Structure 1
Amino acid sequence: MEYLILGIALFVVLAVGGMVALLRSRSGTGTLEAPPETPTITRPAPPAEEEAVVAPPAERPPLAEPSVAPEIELPPPSAGRLQRLRARLARSQSTLGQGLLNLLSRDSLTDEDWDEIEDLLISADVGVAPSRMIVDELRTKVKVTGQLSPDQVRTLLREQLVAQIGPDLQRALHVDPHGGHPAVVMVVGVNGTGKTTTTGKLSRVLVGDGKQVLLGAADTFRAAAAEQLTTWGERVGARVVRGPEGSDPASVAFEAVKQGIQDGVDTVIIDTAGRLHTKTGLMDELGKVKRVIEKQATVDEVLLVLDATTGQNGLTQARVFAEVVNITGIALTKLDGTAKGGIVISVQRELGVPVKLVGLGEGPDDLAPFDAEAFVDAILG
């Protein structure tokens, strides 16, 4: 029995020893391996020299384009501008011209017909006195000549209108430098007549004629005036002198003329603030601007800008301005927007100064030197 127990014990010992030997042969060590972990995929770090590499220019976000100065334009010369705009003027004045031609072409003219002709002239803002003068002259010539053909009627009417407008008036702008100083042009007028726009368009007329121009933004009360004038100047390469909003207009005008002398330009154009002709203080200030300019240069032109659509009310404005500054010429704007072209005759008779410029549209080059014969031809078609 004892031998049986010893045999069993020996068998167990041998079995356990065999299992241990078997495990050692598999691991090659005396310790068990931990179960393998799931591998983590990693990307190799870039070499040290590559970390400092900057992305190529093509991969960078595009930079904003630098601001570019506006391209300088070369406006057309003043010669022939009114002829080019003649069709536009003819469309607006067709009521006046065709009405007169139709009346005068009747087989016989009664007193009522002549009254109708006079009324048509007055309604076109020719004025009462000039209208009566034109009718009297026409009536006398028709009576002497007798029955007239349509061509004769047109010729006769043309002669009378040209004579009333004044073909011999001096309409040339004084814009040439003299005595080592530039010519100085002041532009004046009430609010809303297109004064600043006329100043900018005039700069284009002069640049188109080959002159060097400097602009003075002396309208310091209207915030947009200086910006507007600067835009006009940039388009033709004209320098603009301006001051802070609300600054003294006379000082801005003085500095503009001073700068014009230093730069040796041909013409300095001063845009003044729009004034109500009923405000005495504002009108006195306009006289001050002119006096301050004249401390260093002569004011060669004072152009009064009138809106043709205001009709006879424009004559009241003109009279007051003429009392404060010596008006040398009229710039008649918006003439394409009214059939009352007779304002040219009445304003000249009222002031004794010629219409020198006419505005015939909103385009930048729609300001033209006035020509009496071209104007009448446009009216008559």
Structure 2
Amino acid sequence: MKFLDRLSLDSSTDARVIRRAYARELKLINQEAEPAAFQSLREAYEAALRWIEEGAQELPEPIQEHGPKEGALAQLHGLQSLEHARQALHQLRPVNLADSETFEAAVAALLDEGWRPGHEYLFPAACEIFYWDGRRLPAYLDDFDALAGAIEDLKFLRMQPEEARTNHTRVIDCLRDTGMPGLADLARDILIAEFVSTRYPDLTYLTCAPRKVEQWRKHMSQLVAQVKAQETGRLEETESRSLELLRWFGLAWVVAWIYLGATDFRILRKKEPLRQLTVMEMQWITKNVEPIRVERPVEYEVSLSESGDISGLDLVESQDGAAVSGVADAIRIAAPYPAEYPRVFRVRFPI
């Protein structure tokens, strides 16, 4: 019989052995990569169970090797809510005890195959309707190790403190989402996702998309690399601007020193308050020269060095704006000036 051969069984088998054989063969198939092989195994499993239930000694209808078969379990795919899952199980569950156990085992096998869209609703609904989380699993479910582990994981999750339970449940829900969270959400949830996948391995296997945590981790690494690249770019731009400002500052500093050197640092010197010389002080200028006759008023600003010599002589005021050479010469001849004279003063003629 082809369906028994597919399960590596002989005609002396029973329902329990068939379920174990199905679970064993199922683990050898990648359902996403080998849909035809999975469909063949599923049809062989269902045909074997029918053969046992009917007690038939003849071969049932030949197994169709191609094309999916529409059956009761097809209604359990793509469930949209927990209430939807409850209603589907109630409607499909047979009244007869033996048939009900067979249906329960078929649902367990479907869940034990791993996550599909809608299993997040099918699993808690099945736990509720079949009392999986409130009793020891019956013998006909012994071979479904992932299901048994998921039931224990669910019990442990419900025992967690409210805050931890809320966070774990939220992250498990996110692990079913086909999209990827943003960097902020990943940074907040990645450690929780790592913990959830480690602490509830069978529960996430049954109710979450496979390898989702690895995808999160890879996506976060990519986002962090992008952020680092942007930060590096901004840092390089800032450093470039800083170097440019530093170059301009250095150039300004050099220009300032050149200017100060050219002006003999006059700008940095402490400017003494100007004072008009008294008549007696002005007589110092005329003592070595003939009395100065000035036809028009004239005033000079005189700057002295520390030794009393003249370092600057500037015409400040004149009636017609012209210098009076005789006055300027007399001021120069009077140098060096006594120390009591101010270093900057004004002198006006006529006295």
TM class by smaller structure? under 0.3
* Higher RCO (CA 8 Å, separation ≥ 6 residues): 1
TM-score normalized by the length of structure 1: 0.24
Decide which structure has the larger Cα Rg and report it. 2
> Higher helix share goes to which structure?
2
> Higher strand share goes to which structure?
1
TM-score normalized by the length of structure 2: 0.25
